[in-house]
Amino acid sequence: MLEIATSVLPTGGIIVLDLYANQNPVTFQRSVSGSTVWQTLFEGDFTNNLTVPGATDLYMLWIDDGSLMGAPLNATTEYVYQLTDATGTVATSGIAPNAALTVEQDNITSMMIRIMQAAFTNMVMPSGFMRPHVVHAMPLSMAGSPRLPIITVNLDYGPVMEEVPIGQGVDSLHQNTYVLTAQVRRRYSITVLALSAEEREFYRDAIIGVFSTMAPLVFGKIWDDTRFMFQAYSSQKTNDEYGPGFYFSQVMLDMVGSLNTTITTNYGGLDAITYIEESSVSTI
């Protein structure tokens, strides 16, 4: 079998080619549509085809990332390839690696902050306690020390892939949408700054309560096979040089779940070109 199977990476500028030949040696070349000038990318021997059990042909995987050009392929240029062995030559039609990634943010961190803000806005506060304001990280634009009590939310760790399911390989040749699944861990560090130990303990316990409530109702529905963990540490800080001290508590919230990454492409293309050797039949 003399064949070239092609696909374009969703990143654009990269063409993946599965090359099949009948005999060694093999010559593989690239050109652009409308040109008669061919650039040799490979000359030599292919290896036995191990991608299909019992196959007798030869095989090579070629990732054209702009080989011999010094840069990725031009996304607006149509490239053509030809493969030659002793049995003949096969060529592709023009292939333009015109693709681009569109990244959609999952907004998990902003959702975490808003849920915390909503919880403390509507929470029944003990007598004499001030309602804290919830921010993303420590505000840097305030003059002097921030107004206490304050709660800051940071994504300290993650997202980090922990486990990959068996069969993670993706066949992108024959479909335009495919899904990658992984066990992903996120760790949020929520810091409480307060002027009294009583307020600190209340806000710390409130954060754990809010997390324990929203985890199954919100994040448990976004991810599959979700696990939730938390730990807290409390102390105090005093510094006479810069002003009065404060009480603080740091709550670590961990979430682990099956997070799916969906990749959708909208390009079409020629899946494969198969060369069939012509034969002539004579009759008497």
Confidence (pLDDT) at 270:
53
DSSP label of 245? E
What's the CA gap between 123 and 208, in Å, rounded?
Answer: 14
Q: Can you tell me the mean pLDDT for 255-282? A: 63
**pLDDT value at position 240?**
58
Kindly tell me the burial class for residue 135, based on how many C-beta atoms sit within 10 Å of its own C-beta (0-12, 13-18, 19 or more). Answer: middle
Whether residue 17 lies inside any domain: the answer is: yes
Q: Which of 52-56, 156-160, 198-202, 211-215 is modeled with the greatest confidence?
A: 198-202
* 227: in domain: yes
pLDDT of residue 283: 46
Higher pLDDT, 101 or 246: 246
**pLDDT value at residue 141:** 54
**pLDDT class of 135 with cuts at 50, 70, 90:** confident
Q: Compute φ and ψ for 112, nearest 5 degrees.
A: -60, -45
Q: Which domain holds residue 157?
A: 108-264
pLDDT classification of 184: cutoffs 50, 70, 90: confident
Average pLDDT on 59-82 reads 89
pLDDT of residue 284 exceeding 50, the answer is: no
Q: Give the predicted TM-score (pTM) of the model.
A: 0.60
Q: Is the pLDDT of residue 35 over 60?
A: yes
Give residue-wise pLDDT tens across range 75-121: 889 999 999 999 999 999 999 988 777 777 777 888 888 888 999 99
Same domain, 127 and 255: yes
Average pLDDT over residues 57-86: 90
pLDDT at 7 over 90: no
User: 123: domain CATH number?
Assistant: 3.30.2000
Statement to judge: residues 122 and 222 lie in one domain: yes
Contact 42, 62 (CB under 8 A): yes
Give the C-alpha separation, 185 to 227, whole Å: 9
211 domain-assigned? yes
User: Within a domain: residue 281?
Assistant: no
Per the structure, how many domains does the chain have?
2
Is 26's pLDDT higher than 80?
A: yes
